[in-house]
Amino acid sequence: MKILDIMDAAISKPREEINPNAPRMHVIKINPEKIGAVIGTGGKVIKGIVEETGAKIDIEDDGKVTIFANNADSLNAALNQVENLTNEVEVGKIYQGLVNGVKDFGAFVEIFSQSGLLHISEISHEHIETPHSVLNVNDQMKVMIIDLDAERGRISLSTKALEPEPGDMLTDPQKVFDKAEEMAA
């Protein structure tokens, strides 16, 4: 009982959170078809994640990924990289993307290590002469997936779908409210 009393004096209840410097382990399940994306040619990708984060990563054939790390920062960095390589986009969902190329016909935006096309006609309801006038490489932006051709590996994006249509605010405020609710869901 004396030992329990001493322990209780030191810490009477479990901590809400684990110390950020405590070793960690996290398990996620990925699509087994995405295992190759995490491993990379000759193990190049996974070795890069391990070198950069200091975490240890084990991948099983069924898609189970176990990440071991010495601290929370290392675990989170490795987990983010694995998720970015394996997350799958869905039509109708909104994502944060990074512009990685601007052409006369639109822009290429990267989401979870996948590049999608934001066609000039999907940038805005207003006429745009050239995508170069409103977009730059390395711009962060919200985009909606409007079409996904998995067989051809093509993703079609829109920012126009995130804006109210011209005149909606003046003619029908309920449309704007419904659109905002739809985007939030």
pLDDT, tens digit, 9 for 90 and up, residues 155-175: 999 998 888 776 655 555 566
Q: Residue 96 has which token pair?
A: 């944060």
| Region 120-149 average pLDDT | 90
Is residue 119 scored above 60 in pLDDT? yes
pTM comes to 0.59
Cβ 46 vs Cβ 57: under 8 Å: yes
Per-residue confidence (pLDDT) for residue 173, from 0 to 100: 58
76-108: per-residue pLDDT in tens?
999 999 998 888 888 888 888 999 999 999 999
Per-residue confidence (pLDDT) for residue 16, from 0 to 100: 84
Closest CA to 33 of 140, 150, 159, 183: 150
Cβ 58 vs Cβ 50: under 8 Å: no
Q: Residue 116 has which token pair?
A: 């999608």
Region of 184 (left: φ > 0; alpha: ψ -120 to 50; beta: rest) is alpha
- pLDDT grade, residue 114 (50/70/90)? confident
